[in-house]
Amino acid sequence: MRKIAFLAGAALMISCGTTTKQPKAETANSLTETAVLAAPVTPEGVGAHLEFLSSDALEGRETGSEGIDRAATYIADHFRQAGIKPFYPQYRDTLENYQGYAANVVGYLEGTDPELKDEWVVIGAHYDHIGTVKAVDGDSIANGANDNASGTVAVMEIARKLAVVKDRRRSVLFALFTAEEKGLKGSAHLAKRLKDEGRKVYTVINFEMLGVPMTQDYLVYMTGYEMSNMARMMNEIAGEAIIGLLPKAKEYQLFRRSDNYPFYKTYGIPAHTFSTFDFTNFGHYHKAGDEYGLMDPGHMANVIERMLPLVEGVVNSKQNAVYLQETGGLE
């Protein structure tokens, strides 16, 4: 999540690339692939991805660093094993709006409905973080386990599980954004690129900070809750109110603080962020203490499992079933 000024009423938001690497040959071991695809979403599986992505070895995944490039390679390897194809010739989508090297990691699954497969559902999360910060007890690495290795793992796991779903009417783009913490640069780049390519984006489902459970009586909140019918539709699919509105999210205008926003601006479509960071359940936002050991992989596996049918419902929904609605303004 881009920087939030907690003390001021107005939330100031500020929110990761390196040398170009040769793409690996597309020769994944088929035995490995089968095992990857069949594996259920488990706290252990989720925890393993999370632990790697938030390890000290990745140095806080700042845009332009060696650490974030290792994260990009890890995500691309996962996509390859899960049967998620590179959307561009390579998984890395190099930013044109950033000084120095920075790359999103983008893969896709093609839709099965001839009428709807030209519509894209973007499932996203930023995988960059802020690198190093002022040392606390000798630790200066802002590991970004919650922000946003957690959302990154959600996208990786949802991609893996959607790959084995037979009916996916729309096509699905899996985007791990870079340079979110530098000002939503990765998502702004990709939204513009897709638009310039004439792609139709149906909706955006973005994930941020899912590492610890909320203290509310619903599972996840959605930013821009009143701006579209998406939460209502998802709750209907779930048969219960698991997606809620967090007043604090509205107060801090979180709708504008993450990678859903450039898509909303560029396309004028329902584009939302889903999170379980409720301003009371985590005290290490943008600090060196945002570490793997504080994460709850059981909670995360639960969120991912329960979001899966909702994501599928959106991907398979009728034409224009998700739409913007009149509200009193942006959240």
For residues 119 and 180, which CB has a smaller minimum distance to Zn ion in the complex? 180
Taking the CA atoms of 171, 165, 308 and 53 in sequence, report the sign of the dihedral they define: negative
Q: Closest separation between CB of residue 54 and Zn ion, Å? A: 13
For residues 58 and 82, which CB has a smaller minimum distance to Zn ion in the complex? 58
For residues 145 and 314, which CB has a smaller minimum distance to Zn ion in the complex? 145
Q: Closest separation between CB of residue 5 and Zn ion, Å? A: 13
Amino acid at 174: F
Closest by alpha carbon to 106, among 34, 178, 35?
178
Are 208 and 275 in contact by the 8 Å Cβ rule? The answer is yes
For residues 93 and 128, which CB has a smaller minimum distance to Zn ion in the complex? 128
For residues 1 and 233, which CB has a smaller minimum distance to Zn ion in the complex? 1
Q: Closest separation between CB of residue 285 and Zn ion, Å? A: 7
Amino acid at 265: K
Q: Using CB under 5 A, list all residues that contact Zn ion.
A: 1, 147
**Distance, CA of 249 to CA of 66 (rounded, Å):** 33
User: What are the phi and psi torsion angles at 84 (to 5°)?
Assistant: -90, 120
For residues 84 and 130, which CB has a smaller minimum distance to Zn ion in the complex? 130
Strand spans (E) along 99-164: 103-109, 119-126, 132-136, 139-141
Are 146 and 295 in contact by the 8 Å Cβ rule? The answer is yes
Q: Closest separation between CB of residue 150 and Zn ion, Å? A: 11
Q: Closest separation between CB of residue 154 and Zn ion, Å? A: 16
Q: Closest separation between CB of residue 120 and Zn ion, Å? A: 26
- The DSSP-derived string for 54-112 is TSGGGTT-BTTSHHHHHHHHHHHHHHHHHTPEESSSSSEEE-SSSSS--EEEEEEE--S
Q: Closest separation between CB of residue 1 and Zn ion, Å? A: 4
**Distance, CA of 248 to CA of 259 (rounded, Å):** 18
For residues 1 and 249, which CB has a smaller minimum distance to Zn ion in the complex? 1
